[in-house]
Structure 1
Amino acid sequence: MSRPVSRVLTLLELLQAGGVRTVAELADRLGVGERTVRRYVDHLVDLDVPVESVRGRYGGYRLAPGHRMPPLMLTDDEALAVLLGLVAGRRTGITAAAGTAGETAAAKVRRVLPERLRHRLDAVLDSLTFTTAPAESAAPEAAVLLPVADAVRHHRPVAFRYTGGRGGGGGGGGGGERTVYPYGLVAHAGRWYVTGRDLSAGAERTFRLDRVRGARVLPGTFEPPPGPGPAERVLTALATAPYRHAVTVRVQGTAEEIRTRLPASVAIVAAEAGGGAPAGADRAGDEVWCRVEMRAERLDWVPGVLASLDRPFVVERPDELRGLVADLAGRLLDAARQAPPGD
């Protein structure tokens, strides 16, 4: 690469670091005169790179947003961070957008890496092992994510078509056309959600973005309500989704202790006034009791979760759950009484 071309690319890298760079500073960094700096800037402008001239005492040059992305200059650490971020994003399902955008972006960056850096990256990827299986891909399309994010940021209503599911895993109210005041975007367990007030239903709803089509921002504005943030609203919606069984249990212990085993996306945990001990339950000192509410399509996994709490509990509903808890207790007792094979 000729020295002038190399310096023009170095100039672009300096401008991409952000802020206004004076001509004197750029001349010093490039090892050329100020007139040469201005000529290099003209070269970038000829290539449609949006370089702006800033006048005044602290004036100079800066990079402005353009109609297309200019060549991107990255340091070794930045290139590795971008590629590893894409790998991790695909693994969790967050960046696995429609088509192969994540893969093609990674391929483009990797293609222009110096050989020594490419070998360093290959060494990391070849030696890296994940402890969890790849998440199911449920990332939204850019044509959905970008307008919804814009509506959230500027408090604008958004309209879209919603397809499939039981209301998006959190009370979306089924499919069809929707007009929503969006409160926020939330990424949770490999999926993207938008939560807000559904004007079509007159209630707050949570929608999975991978089931949204044709999103468009509408005129007007709204004022987000006070109260829980978007993440808490989404987790509450997931925990209260209309599944087949509604489970209510009283558990002895503080809400903080119980939430370490039952996260907000699984259960709603609330401390009971006055200790909340159920009738007939043992009172151990000043121990408090909490009310735990869950929704489940099947009950077979609930007894094991309750046993893992390692806290006294009382089942309030459904009656069927009491029998399943007794069955699990019987199987555990039988297993404890069994002698090891060969004794």
Structure 2
Amino acid sequence: MSRPTGRVLTLLELLQSGGTRTVAELADRLGVEGRTVRRYVDHLIDLDVPVESVRGRYGGYRLAPGHRLPPLMLGEDEALAVLLGLLAGPRAGLAPAERTAGETAAAKIRRVLPRHLAGRLDTLLDALSFTGRPSAATDRPGGAAPPDTGALLTLADAVRHRRPVSLRYTDRNGRPSERTLHPYGIVAHAGRWYVTGADAGIGEDRTLRLDRVTDARALPGSFDAPAGPDPAERVLSTLAAADYRHEVTLRIHGTPEGIRRHLPESVATLEETGPGPGRATETESETATATETETETDADRAAGRWLRVELRAERLDWLPPVLAAIDRPFVIERPEELRTLVTALADRLASHARRA
């Protein structure tokens, strides 16, 4: 939610609490100037919220007498999804003010939850852990779908009571399968959700992406939890050993901030490297792309430094547009296939630009 939109909603909540609120009071609560409060009031009026202006020494704004907005109606899965997102916020690197806002909003919603629904949320939170670390391996930035809430709750209950579950799962190649899993825990890592446990069919531990689970059913029986690493450590170990199709190494001349806007920590690692292509070896100069310069100008140096960028991915087709958006000199060290894709994109763009 954008900051102005959030403040307009906060203004509405303040007015709904009753009474007349002065402009000075509202400005102080919202952290804005008086004229901004008046603009926010105009936004509410445009949305058909009946805000009245009260003149006089104790004037200000109030809602029309007897007016209340209808209550927010959420289904069980919707309420749990919203609450989980709010409660997960403090573990996702949010700023302190955003963490406080998330916790406050979660407390308000939780107070009106039916008891059984609050219990399901507690079960899920008990089964959930966070790695607190970014991932350098990805299919495509931001490409992960949210997990199915029903499957998430079923797995959380199975983790708590040590019950096996039957899963319908689709692997990275699109092959569907049915598996019996003894789940150890649910882990949130780098914007994705995972379940880790023992695959009863093959007798080995597995880490599965929850957005690829389409159905989960509890089975009779129970299992003993193994000793050893906790679920978050198991997920990190599995991802570190995963065999991704492409390992990409680039050198980009720019600032960490500029590169991170397009390749965040969850996608790539950055480290400072040596001199640019102008001072590189002959082999390195031969691999430089057409976008790089032979020597660094003063303007180049002011714009940043040479940084080594490494990532792993299943596909490469999303990377050329990202490199074009970064718009800084770069060298492709590996793989050769990426160089071909970048050249093809450059040729297409040049062809389009030459059209009358």
TM-score class, shorter-chain normalisation, is 0.3 to 0.5
Which structure has the larger Rg?
A: 1
User: What TM-score results when the alignment is normalised by the length of structure 1?
Assistant: 0.43
User: What TM-score results when the alignment is normalised by the length of structure 2?
Assistant: 0.41
